[in-house]
Amino acid sequence: MTFMGDWPLRWWLILGGCVLSALIVAVGAVVPGDRSTSDPAVREHADRALQALSAVSALAQRPSRGDYRREAFGSAWTDATAAAGGFNGCDTRNDVLARDLTDTRRAAVSSCARAVVAGEFRSPYTGEFIVFRRDRRAGAIQIDHIVPLAYAWDMGAWSWSPTARVNLANDPANLVAVDAASNQTKSDQEPARWMPPNRGFRCQYSIQFVTVVSTYHLLLDAPSATILRKSLRQC
In this structure, is residue 8 part of a structural domain?
no
Is 181 a residue whose pLDDT tops 70?
A: yes
Distance CA 160, CA 129 (A): 38
The model's confidence at residue 138, banded by pLDDT at 50, 70 and 90, is confident
What are the angstrom distances between the C-alpha of 75 and each of 26, 47, 61, 231? 25, 35, 29, 33
| Number of C-beta neighbours around residue 110 at 10 A | 7
Range of the structural domain that residue 34 is part of: 17-205+216-225
Distance CA 15, CA 171 (A): 8
Distance CA 143, CA 191 (A): 18
Q: Where are the alpha helices (DSSP H) in 55-201?
A: 92-100, 149-154, 162-170, 180-186
In this structure, is residue 11 part of a structural domain?
no
In this structure, is residue 6 part of a structural domain?
no
In this structure, is residue 137 part of a structural domain?
yes
Q: Which amino acid is at 28?
A: G
Domain count, the chain: 1
Coil vs helix vs strand at 208: helix
The candidate with the shortest Cα–Cα distance to 173, out of 55, 23, 46, 5, is 23
Sheet (strand 112-122) strand order: 102-109, 112-122, 129-133
Higher pLDDT, 9 or 64: 64
In this structure, is residue 54 part of a structural domain?
yes
Distance CA 146, CA 226 (A): 17
pLDDT at 122: 97
pLDDT at 9: 31
Higher pLDDT, 31 or 40: 40
Distance CA 96, CA 119 (A): 12
